[in-house]
Structure 1
Amino acid sequence: MSFFSINKSIYFLFLISPFLVILNYMLSPIPVSLLKELIQLLVIVALVFQLPKSKLNNLDVYFLLFLTYFLFHIVTLNDIGLWVDGIRYQLGYMIIGVLIVVNRAYMVRLDKIAAIIFFISIPVVLIAIVEFFDSGVIEALYGESKYMLNHTELALGERLISTFVNPINLGVFLTVSYASAFYMYKESKVNVLVFSLFSAALFFVITFTFSRIAIISFCIMSIYFFLISGSNIKRVILLLFLLTLIYSLSFDVFSLSILSEFNVDLILERLTNISSADTYTENARVKNWGVALQNIDSVLFSLWGLGVGFINPTVERGGIVVENMFISILIEFGIIGLLLYLSYFFYLVKASLNLNGNEKYFACGFLIVFLVCGMGNDLNRNFPFVFYFWIISASIILTYKKEKCSG
């Protein structure tokens, strides 16, 4: 497989990840999504070919046992289509991430990933800002009216979707971009003015996705950056919150112009209710969790799970809607699988906090996003975030192990 470059293929997937839907339309009949699946398969095959050359230590053996447990869940009881989706959206990227670690494939670098995410987020943000003023840009990109797409409207107004189709996915991606922007600033690759303008643009777009979980994630990351940063970043973050406060207090003025198509009262209600417990306990997602958990009706299913593919938004094919990453893992892989997943996540937190370079801030920021947004989204099976998680986590572990060995 020497003709095939693993690192270039992975970087290519990062580059196209926010633009898959519009590329499918613009490059039709070229099946760009199918190209993504082909690259995934080729990367897996290339890594498997490298496996016999690897010198395994105890941690590598643990990771292989970890992967083996999840792979046994390929044997499942549900629809073949859901089974295929489960493999290509979950297990495929998990295989890649674990094998990168075991093969010690240092070619996938954390600093390059952070830089790529920063640069690809710029057109995403610009398109979203244009969309705010003229939603006709969406029809030009997708080939159909925004009104024909799902999840784009609430009673309070249109939600921004940019290149992501789904406003929640857009919000999650931009919070990851916030972490990458902070890394770029710490590396002096952008100055404080660029970071400030970019952060303000991110917050503006995230606000008008009306994704409360993305807004919460953005705010938690801002607090994290505030606590670890020097005076310049603290001024930027304080300025962001001051502008947000002024903006909120001035809604009546803005509603006469750029917000004339929005229900301002409902926007304020949605944003101010973020801190209310009722917002979460009475949320439709929470009801989905309860209904989904009813499928675990035996001790065996509780421990082992139902198998890969059961969590899927296509209810008409037998899928179960959850919208919580941890409950999704519990249902498909059981209590054992959830404990294994959490142990992996905690190891990532430990590794991230002990990184020496500025990659630490990107790694910690990414894990904050994944943890917070995973509480309201099945990020473990949602492309591109499942891809991001396993590749970035592998890069975190390899960077940590390399620094530990050299230090």
Structure 2
Amino acid sequence: MQQVNKDSVAIQFACIAMAIITLIPFGRGNISGLEIGFPFMILSVLFFLLTKRKKNKQSIFILTFLLFWAAWVLVGITYSYLYYPGNADHISAYLRFFRMLEMYLPGVLILVFSRGMNEKQHNRIAIFVFTLFFLVTLESTIGFFLQSTALTATQMYKYPGMGYVYRAGGVAKDSSAYSNLILLLAITAFIELKRMGKSPIIFLGLMTCLLINIYLSMSRSLMVAMLVYFITNLILERKIKPGTLFIIIAGIVSLLIVGMNNEYLTSFWARISGANQEDISSGRFTTWALLLGLVGDNPLLGVGYRLSTEKYGLIPDNMFLSLSVETGVIGLLLYLSFLMSLCVSVYKNNRDKFALIIAYVVSGVFIDISTFWVSVPFFLFTMAIYKREPEN
């Protein structure tokens, strides 16, 4: 009787979970892809646990800091419930806390216990990432064109098909979460393609999908994160092939030529340049200044996880400020320690993706990457994808 490869089964369950989380429409429904994908993530963790492994110090630090942070967040919400009754919906805060555990804990456990994949498993995951990126792009494109007649270059909110929420000129409500997911999908796909070997057709397909998503999302944070990745990767590798640079420039120029008379693209440029807005950050700078003053309200415990909007009517759009206000300085330090230990682990075991994790963290200056359930699980899964060294 052939022995079951527990790692392969665990990886399959993880991939099923990632597909459910990213492809099931996210919007205002009570049930999200996260809840449906959660059981598959747990099954993945259980199968990884069935395989004996040596202890990894970096992984232990990752899990420890996450658990400390989760405990601190719970203490902060409870404190807010006791001392700020009626000021905010604390029941909703507790529910968001459990959703946070759903997206972080299984993902971190998969990262901790996966300990790399063999060549065959790695190639299958690469194909999965290519396919997922294509399907996400197809789904969002269909959703966009189903409402194309209703979209104009204004800031009106529209609800197209496939569950994605768009506004004219960009993705609405979950625009930051969507652009964050695209960053992870696109860069991971390019990294895996590079590892597997050259394929001009797949490269062209991935680049097309990336440009489509930039056009649809109109996300400045996505473009900044891409630039950070590009610069960090250049610093690490100290080279870029002229052919690759030419294809990238040609794609961007082609997009500009096609859309230079397009009202949608004109709106895109207005968003980038800050035209007709309070400033180029769409008012973020003003909000950040206000939030800095609010950190002093409760610098130790914070006002409660995800309660800054309800209590103060402000949307932080900055992970560092959001955590400072909502979980206190200690909560911020614990989360940064979690990210730092993750960076160390990636640098030692998965260096191809080190530039990606840097770009991901830097994007937290403009968006709150710590709360995106649609991208956090995939981020942790992405960091777990690396080739295991052959055993002697």
Q: TM-score, normalised by structure 2?
A: 0.72
Q: 1:369 & 1:86 partners in 2: Cα distance?
A: 26
1:321 is paired with a residue whose SS is coil
2:323 aligns with one of 299, 322, 329? 329
- Residue 302 of structure 1 corresponds to which residue in structure 2? 299
Q: 1:60 & 1:198 partners in 2: Cα distance?
A: 32
Q: Deviations along 1:64-111, whole A, 9 cap, x unmatched? A: 5423422323132241221111221x2333333444465566579776
- Residue 87 of structure 2 corresponds to which residue in structure 1? none
**Paired AA for residue 375 in structure 1:** V
Cα distance change, pair 98–243 in 1 and its aligned pair in 2 (3 A): closer
Q: Which has the higher contact order (CA 8 A, sep 6+)?
A: 2
Q: 2:170 & 2:175 partners in 1: Cα distance?
A: 6
Q: 2:306 & 2:59 partners in 1: Cα distance?
A: 27
Cα distance change, pair 128–391 in 1 and its aligned pair in 2 (3 A): closer
Q: 2:247 & 2:113 partners in 1: Cα distance?
A: 45
- The question of whether the paired residues in 2 share the 8 Å contact of 1:54 and 1:102 is answered with no
Q: Determine if the alignment matches structure 1 residue 268 to structure 2 residue 276.
A: no
Q: Deviations along 1:163-213, whole A, 9 cap, x unmatched? A: xx7333332222222212222321236603421342143124313321111
Q: 1:198 & 1:176 partners in 2: Cα distance?
A: 13
Q: C-alpha displacement at 1:246, in angstroms?
A: 5.9
Q: C-alpha displacement at 1:56, in angstroms?
A: 5.8
- The question of whether the paired residues in 2 share the 8 Å contact of 1:184 and 1:190 is answered with no
Q: 1:58 & 1:187 partners in 2: Cα distance?
A: 27
1:322 is paired with a residue whose SS is coil
Cα distance change, pair 132–390 in 1 and its aligned pair in 2 (3 A): closer
Q: 2:134 & 2:57 partners in 1: Cα distance?
A: 42
- Residue 85 of structure 1 corresponds to which residue in structure 2? 96
Q: Determine if the alignment matches structure 1 residue 360 to structure 2 residue 362.
A: no
- The question of whether the paired residues in 2 share the 8 Å contact of 1:160 and 1:205 is answered with no
Within-5 A mapping of 1:105-254: 114-130=126-142, 135=147, 145-146=159-160, 152-153=166-167, 157-159=168-170, 166-188=174-196, 191-224=199-232, 228=237, 233-245=241-253, 247-248=255-256, 250=257, 254=260
Q: 1:55 & 1:334 partners in 2: Cα distance?
A: 35
- Residue 21 of structure 1 corresponds to which residue in structure 2? 25
Q: 1:151 & 1:145 partners in 2: Cα distance?
A: 5
- Residue 69 of structure 1 corresponds to which residue in structure 2? 68
**Paired AA for residue 87 in structure 1:** F
- Identity percentage over the alignment? 19
Q: 1:104 & 1:269 partners in 2: Cα distance?
A: 45
- The question of whether the paired residues in 1 share the 8 Å contact of 2:183 and 2:226 is answered with yes
2:264 is paired with a residue whose SS is coil
- The question of whether the paired residues in 2 share the 8 Å contact of 1:20 and 1:32 is answered with yes
Cα distance change, pair 302–349 in 1 and its aligned pair in 2 (3 A): same
**Paired AA for residue 17 in structure 1:** I
2:321 is paired with a residue whose SS is helix
Q: 1:91 & 1:320 partners in 2: Cα distance?
A: 24
1:377 is paired with a residue whose SS is coil
**Paired AA for residue 270 in structure 1:** R
1:21 is paired with a residue whose SS is coil
Q: 1:50 & 1:84 partners in 2: Cα distance?
A: 31
Cα distance change, pair 151–191 in 1 and its aligned pair in 2 (3 A): same
Q: C-alpha displacement at 1:328, in angstroms?
A: 2.2
2:316 is paired with a residue whose SS is coil
Q: C-alpha displacement at 1:374, in angstroms?
A: 1.8
Unmatched 5+ stretches in structure 1:
none
Q: 2:178 & 2:112 partners in 1: Cα distance?
A: 32
Cα distance change, pair 287–112 in 1 and its aligned pair in 2 (3 A): farther
Cα distance change, pair 306–182 in 1 and its aligned pair in 2 (3 A): same
**Paired AA for residue 321 in structure 2:** I
2:24 is paired with a residue whose SS is helix
